[in-house]
Amino acid sequence: MKITSIVGARPQFVKLSPMVKAFAAHPEVEHAIIHTGQHYSDVMSDVFFRDLDIPKPNINLMIGSGTHGWQTGKMLLGIEVVLLDEKPDMVVVYGDTNSTLAGALAAAKLNIPVAHVEAGMRCLRKDVPEEINRVVVDHVSSLLFCTPGVSAANLNTEGMFWDSVIPAGDVLHDAFVQNKDRIPSVVVLPGKYVVATVHRQENTDDRNRLNSIICALNDIAKIIPVVLPFHPRIEHSVKELSSGITVIDPLSYLDMLGLVSGAEIVLTDSGGLQREAHWLGKMSIILRDVTEHMDLVADGWAVLADADSRTILSSAFSAMKTLDRKVELGPLYDGHAADRIVAKCIEWLEP
């Protein structure tokens, strides 16, 4: 039995790592990896494969950066050729990037069943590119692996067949569980600090929003140092940073967890980092007006501050005053989501 994972962007490599381990426990499965090359530099790609002991991809299409249509189109062309050649029995795609969309579309059009890991996440905004990718991918997939609660409910609301929606847990949490004893202590600055990350197109490509976020970070930095790992998307657009903000290169998975575990709070527009901050017992200020993780907001682990300087500032300071709380997670957060997903894929192919 051949099952092929298609990945291409930084967060997908992390989600792939527990899946690789889960596949390894099933010698009857030949698991292959196609890397689209959406992310290509060492800090955005190779370091994750090294750190997380993920085997080298069987094929790297080396598509690189471009506009959405160009990038997705090139991926479709490249992936189709590989799938026609390799003829896998199933394709697994992860998350909501252009690599997820291209992988799912190429496979579905060739009548290869698609399993979507991290299905059902919605922010209900059509101007968010990842939302378009999620909706399309879910609707062409045969197996929808989601977290219980909101994601499963979203899929039911959209009329998905009940037996294709499988609340299996969160593979990003599996990666966290598998690596939490390896988290290094990362000292960028002595003393207390906060971590900020900004990479979403809705923030980086909108001058007003970006200026407003930077203005808030500059103000926060007057009181407490801010560490800002730079995603390549904002590298060239940010100019006036105060001296209280320390810019560093993008970090590896383990170093980022290390940086967050020593921080007071996290300010971010990343969906994955909100979850990881929570698992590390840290509050997030979300630099968006929506999030796919409203459960974190409802439980008080995250605050939606949008790109509004004042709200970011006041939410950050009140979060820093919040007392430490115990992290409580549901029964599916046991580090075995990937095992359940792989077992279900095999059962589905060989009933």
The residue ranges that bind ligand UD1 (CB under 6 A) are 9-11, 38-41, 44-45, 65, 96-98, 129-130, 199, 232-233
Shortest distance (Å) from residue 59 CB to ligand UD1: 17
Q: Which of 35, 116, 199, 293 is catalytic?
A: 199
Closest CB to ligand UD1 among residues 167, 229: 229
Shortest distance (Å) from residue 67 CB to ligand UD1: 9
Closest CB to ligand UD1 among residues 63, 220: 63
Shortest distance (Å) from residue 162 CB to ligand UD1: 28
Shortest distance (Å) from residue 144 CB to ligand UD1: 19
**Alpha-carbon gap, residue 336 to 325, rounded angstroms:** 25
Active site residue 199: yes
Residues 144, 165 contacting (CB under 8 angstroms): yes
Closest CB to ligand UD1 among residues 73, 244: 73
Instruction: Indicate left, alpha or beta for 185 from its phi (over 0: left) and psi (-120 to 50: alpha).
Output: beta
Closest CB to ligand UD1 among residues 257, 345: 257
Residues 81, 104 contacting (CB under 8 angstroms): no
Residues 53, 79 contacting (CB under 8 angstroms): no
Residues 103, 77 contacting (CB under 8 angstroms): no
Q: Catalytic residue numbers?
A: 199
